Structure 1
Amino acid sequence: MNTRGVPADDGLRLMPFRGLRYVPERVGSLAAVTSPPYDVVVRPDGLLHLESADPHNIVRLILPQADTAAERHEQAAETLERWLTEGVLAPDPEPALYVYEQRKGEILQRGLIGALALSEPDKGIVLPHEDVMPHVVADRAALMRTTAANLEPLLLTYRGDGSESGAGAVIDRIALERPLLATTTEDGFSHRLWSVTAPDDLDRISQELTRHQALIADGHHRWATYLLLRDEQRVPGAWNYGLVLLIDTARYPLRVRAIHRLLNRLPVADALAAVEGLVRVRDVEGPLGNALEALAEAAAEGNAFLLAGDGGFHLLDRPDPALLARTVPTGRPEAWRSLDATVLHSTLLEHVWRVPDSPEEVTYIHATEAAVEQAERRGGTAVLMHPVREDVVRDLARQGVTMPRKSTSFGPKPATGLVLRSLSLD
């Protein structure tokens, strides 16, 4: 057993694959055919915007629109097949790992895209930290099953050892070469992609990764989908691998952001009335940036939430200890019991506001501004959260403790559409 918590030579196995990529001459621009991950697209506005950006935008595969789920999945499969036939998408000539770079201002992130061998959950090689919703897993599984493709990579992180002869050195050297593609998306991020095919480079990458475990930073539902689809197969094959982006956060630290909640049917006035006497409530002056600074200051001292949706901002902190003792489940580490997401779901949503955690009642939104805007538009309540530190997430994951779902948002997230994986090619 090594210091990374996995048996030697029994860690991460990232395999080359023949990536499917857009043919630049067949689309308006590479930027116009990309999308954020499927669960980050703000619907319906963001979906319509992406669909209109280019007729071949990847959102037509990851979020197809039709009357029934079966029709949506069939539509995605037919669209993928048509784009392949028409030469809109084409496979690379040989299997490769892909170096992927994202850059914006001082932010620089580089990692490897490949087909990761799917380990058993109890081996501790890939660590989830959030629970999943079965109906989302079922929907993603049906889409992958019907298209026979991994349409977007999961985001995984590991902590490298700083070796100058391992994967990091290969990545940084290749990033000096001419890329396969380069584009800048409308969020200001530049994206570049290179292929890694040299046997020596692939061996150096493999030798390092087998000493490490990875944390799922983004894509828990897709990871659960990969495992479900693998277990459906009678013999090992392409379904024993899943498309991932693997980042060494010792070299390229990710940013950790919160995922906010929109309570669709709970007006702010009702939310505030229900918590009276149970938490401290203070009105905070805008604009949004100022209110978020107040949230960060309060969160440094304990549980804190910022409510919005009525044109103002309301800071909730210092929940009644007796209330927490009565409502937060026991039998978990204190780090889990004190999470803002734990207190929000176990105490406020379930016991105080009595809001079921269902798609009709609660919408999860990554963009802070969008959460506030939609709350004001719908007459609901946006619950703005403060992010959890990565070390807290990793420590809980290593203990086998999952956080409440949608507790964190690691980024920057990979752009969807730059490289796809067809299981029929592997």
Structure 2
Amino acid sequence: MNTRGPAIPGLRLVPFRGLRYVPDRVGSLSAVTSPPYDVVVRPDGLHHLESADPHNIVRLILPQGESATARHEQAAATLRRWRAEGVLAPDPEPVLYVYEQRGDGILQRGVIGALELSEPGDGIVLPHEDVMDHVVEDRADLMRTTRAHLEPLLLTYPGDGGATGTHAVIGRTVELPPLLDTTTEDGFHHRLWAVTDPGDRAEIERDLAGHQALIADGHHRWATYLRLRREHSAPGPWDFGLVLLVDTAHYPLRVRPIHRLLHGLPVADALAALTGLFRVRTVEGPLPRALDALAGAAAEGNAFLLAGDGAFHLVDRPDEALLARTVPADRPAAYRSLDATVLHAALLGEVWRVPDDDPSRIAYIHDTAAAVEQAERHGSTAVLMHPVREGLVRDLARQGVTMPRKSTSFGPKPATGLVLRGLDLG
């Protein structure tokens, strides 16, 4: 993994020495895991995870402190201490890992490894969302300081549907005893295996070399990987990034929306600003019933559900003149008609004047009920979204068109804390 060679023709996933929790040194594996850093609902979810176990991974991915520098140095010190105390220990040799999640009617399996990085123009790894510079810089500084990849990105690729290659290796591997087996608080069952056979690893390498991947979750971390690689001219561990690759031909993911919480904007003010620009109707709850109304409206055009005042307000049928002057005309029709495009270009950009990259004005929340609850608690507005189809996401990505930031949430996402990558370990 120490040679920066010519451009790679496809995906190149290499083994690494995973850094993993030692079961005897923690209360339980489930108590030290976390959702990805950007899914944790703060502060409630953060406090819950911190109290679950003193060694919960959230202390590394979301360290607390008075400044960014203090937070990141604290995470690095915590990581060094846990390694010195034997709470985290590296596996004896570099391997690829087969990872399985099962729950809520879903079975997902994929391979975790260190992926050789490629630039966006290479067409090997396809981003589909814009990123926020301040988040990339924060993640970059955390990785620089800890010298570790603390959680894998989720990448997908459409396999050929056959019974050979990576899928065959996964099938053989899951028949063996796993390295770990745990059930997390959300009810998902997680298992992890090491792929140690050189023939199996070669079969995976040959199979992946013919594929490109879509970033399903982790755009900011991918942008961080690329930024840090550019900072290091010499070949080394920065040329690779920790990822989970899932073949959606065999294990299709679910696509869910990411909702917006608009700080300091009461629902009454948000609705008043829509007069003459959108149709607004109050729809009956509870939340699942209101979401059904949103789904019905979204099947006919752009639609959003506003909440935060104890009721649900369906917003649809945008004014064509508003769209004409706010939505970029130089993008494909599929992009211009996205709910996220209309939300960011027309509603946030012109009607409500909310900067979509200012964390003091807007938060991005994956959990629907949490978005509504926080809006009601703080007198803010929750904008609930309807999910976009995976096929549309991939089509736009192949055209080089990125969607507005936080447009999709693919899942299930890998649990954070099951395997880390220390950059000093290769």
TM interval, short-chain normalised: over 0.9
Amino acid at match of 2:241: G
Please name the residue that 1:290 is paired with: 289
Alpha-carbon distance in 1 for matches of 2:403, 2:202: 35
Alpha-carbon distance in 2 for matches of 1:234, 1:270: 52
Alpha-carbon distance in 2 for matches of 1:367, 1:73: 27
Mean CA deviation greater in 172-181 or 382-391: 172-181
Mean CA deviation greater in 160-169 or 240-249: 160-169
CA drift at 1:353: 1.3
Which secondary structure state, in structure 2, belongs to the residue aligned with residue 111 of structure 1? Answer: strand
User: Structure 1 runs of 4+ off > 3 angstroms?
Assistant: none
1:67 pairs with 2:66: yes
Which secondary structure state, in structure 1, belongs to the residue aligned with residue 66 of structure 2? Answer: coil
Please name the residue that 1:177 is paired with: 176
Alpha-carbon distance in 1 for matches of 2:304, 2:104: 30
Alpha-carbon distance in 1 for matches of 2:61, 2:322: 42
Please name the residue that 1:217 is paired with: 216
Please name the residue that 1:15 is paired with: 14
Which secondary structure state, in structure 2, belongs to the residue aligned with residue 108 of structure 1? Answer: strand
Structure 1's unaligned 5+ residue stretches are 1-7
Please name the residue that 1:247 is paired with: 246
| Deviation sequence 1:261-286 (CA, Å, 0-9, x none) | 00111110011111012111111100
After TM superposition, list the pairs within 5 Å mapping 1:106-255 onto structure 2: 106-255=105-254
| Deviation sequence 1:134-168 (CA, Å, 0-9, x none) | 11111100100011100000000000012212100
CA drift at 1:105: 3.8
CA drift at 1:256: 0.2
Which secondary structure state, in structure 2, belongs to the residue aligned with residue 275 of structure 1? Answer: coil
Which secondary structure state, in structure 2, belongs to the residue aligned with residue 115 of structure 1? Answer: strand
Alpha-carbon distance in 2 for matches of 1:230, 1:355: 33
CA drift at 1:9: 6.9
After TM superposition, list the pairs within 5 Å mapping 1:391-406 onto structure 2: 391-406=391-406
Alpha-carbon distance in 2 for matches of 1:172, 1:288: 40
Amino acid at match of 2:366: H
Alpha-carbon distance in 2 for matches of 1:251, 1:62: 31
| Deviation sequence 1:302-351 (CA, Å, 0-9, x none) | 00000000000000011111211121111000100000000001001111
Alpha-carbon distance in 2 for matches of 1:409, 1:260: 10
Alignment TM-score, normalising by the size of structure 1: 0.97
Alignment TM-score, normalising by the size of structure 2: 0.97
Please name the residue that 1:410 is paired with: 410
| Deviation sequence 1:195-239 (CA, Å, 0-9, x none) | 001010001100010000000000011001000111111211111
Alpha-carbon distance in 2 for matches of 1:155, 1:276: 41
Alpha-carbon distance in 2 for matches of 1:113, 1:159: 16
Please name the residue that 1:355 is paired with: 354
Preserved CA contact (<8 Å) 1:348 1:354: yes
Please name the residue that 1:36 is paired with: 35
Alpha-carbon distance in 2 for matches of 1:120, 1:41: 29
Preserved CA contact (<8 Å) 1:230 1:240: yes
Alpha-carbon distance in 2 for matches of 1:197, 1:249: 24
Alpha-carbon distance in 2 for matches of 1:164, 1:40: 34
CA drift at 1:26: 0.2
| Deviation sequence 1:80-116 (CA, Å, 0-9, x none) | 0110110000000111100000000421000000000
Please name the residue that 1:325 is paired with: 324
Alpha-carbon distance in 2 for matches of 1:214, 1:290: 36
Preserved CA contact (<8 Å) 1:9 1:211: no
Which secondary structure state, in structure 1, belongs to the residue aligned with residue 228 of structure 2? Answer: helix
CA drift at 1:71: 0.9
After superposition, the CA RMSD in angstroms is 1.1
Which secondary structure state, in structure 2, belongs to the residue aligned with residue 244 of structure 1? Answer: strand
Mean CA deviation greater in 352-361 or 114-123: 352-361
Alpha-carbon distance in 2 for matches of 1:269, 1:135: 31
How many residues are matched?
420
Alpha-carbon distance in 1 for matches of 2:141, 2:149: 12
Alpha-carbon distance in 2 for matches of 1:353, 1:234: 44
Which secondary structure state, in structure 1, belongs to the residue aligned with residue 349 of structure 2? Answer: helix
Amino acid at match of 1:49: H
Please name the residue that 1:260 is paired with: 259
Alpha-carbon distance in 2 for matches of 1:36, 1:122: 30
Which secondary structure state, in structure 1, belongs to the residue aligned with residue 273 of structure 2? Answer: helix
| Deviation sequence 1:334-388 (CA, Å, 0-9, x none) | 1000000000010011111122241111110000000000000110100000001
Which secondary structure state, in structure 2, belongs to the residue aligned with residue 194 of structure 1? Answer: strand
Amino acid at match of 1:416: T
Alpha-carbon distance in 2 for matches of 1:178, 1:69: 41
Identical-pair percentage: 76
Alpha-carbon distance in 1 for matches of 2:161, 2:382: 41
1:274 pairs with 2:261: no
Structure 2's unaligned 5+ residue stretches are 1-6
Please name the residue that 2:368 is paired with: 368
Question: CA 1:239–1:9 in structure 2 vs 1: closer, same or farther (change >3 Å)?
Answer: closer
1:304 pairs with 2:306: no
